[in-house]
């Protein structure tokens, strides 16, 4: 059994036992999180969401992703070389139960 859920403006295809990385949520480790914005469950499609379907998960950890390098360069102009970095915060969730 699988479901498609919406979290933080993105859609994720999950099944029981999956671990997913989502945008940072206001939850601590070992908290139970319930997602009620379920777009699809197996072959049932909601319009826009399915009612009476919930996906539960446990927060494994909060963290930051690996740093990516942003490099800005202008040709033939040595003074405009610029580097920046960015680390996106995330929440790792283990899906425990899909009910519906």
Exposure pattern of 10-48 as b/e (b: 16+ CB <10 Å)?
eebebeeeeebebeebeeeeeeebebebbbbbeeeeeee
Any domain includes 33: yes
Any domain includes 11: yes
Q: Tokens in use for 52?
A: 């009476």
Any domain includes 79: no
Distances (CA, A) of 71 to 66, 75, 99: 16, 13, 46
Any domain includes 85: no
Any domain includes 75: no
In total, how many domains does the chain have? 1
pTM score: 0.80
Phi first, then psi: give them for residue 79, nearest 5 degrees.
-80, -10
Whether residue 16 has pLDDT greater than 80: yes
The whole domain housing 16 covers 2-61+90-99
Any domain includes 78: no
> Are 12 and 21 a contacting pair, CB within 8 Å?
no
pLDDT in tens, 43-59: 899 999 999 999 999 99
């Amino acid at each position: 059994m699988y479901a498609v859920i919406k979290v933080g403006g993105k859609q994720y295809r999950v099944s029981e036992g999956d671990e997913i990385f989502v945008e940072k949520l206001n939850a601590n480790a070992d908290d139970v999180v319930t997602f009620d914005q379920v777009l699809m469950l197996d072959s049932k499609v909601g319009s826009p969401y399915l009612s009476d379907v919930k996906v539960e998960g446990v927060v494994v950890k909060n963290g930051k992703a690996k740093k990516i390098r942003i490099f800005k360069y202008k040709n033939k102009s040595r003074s405009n070389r610029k580097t920046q970095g960015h680390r996106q915060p995330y929440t790792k969730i283990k899906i425990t139960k899909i009910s519906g």
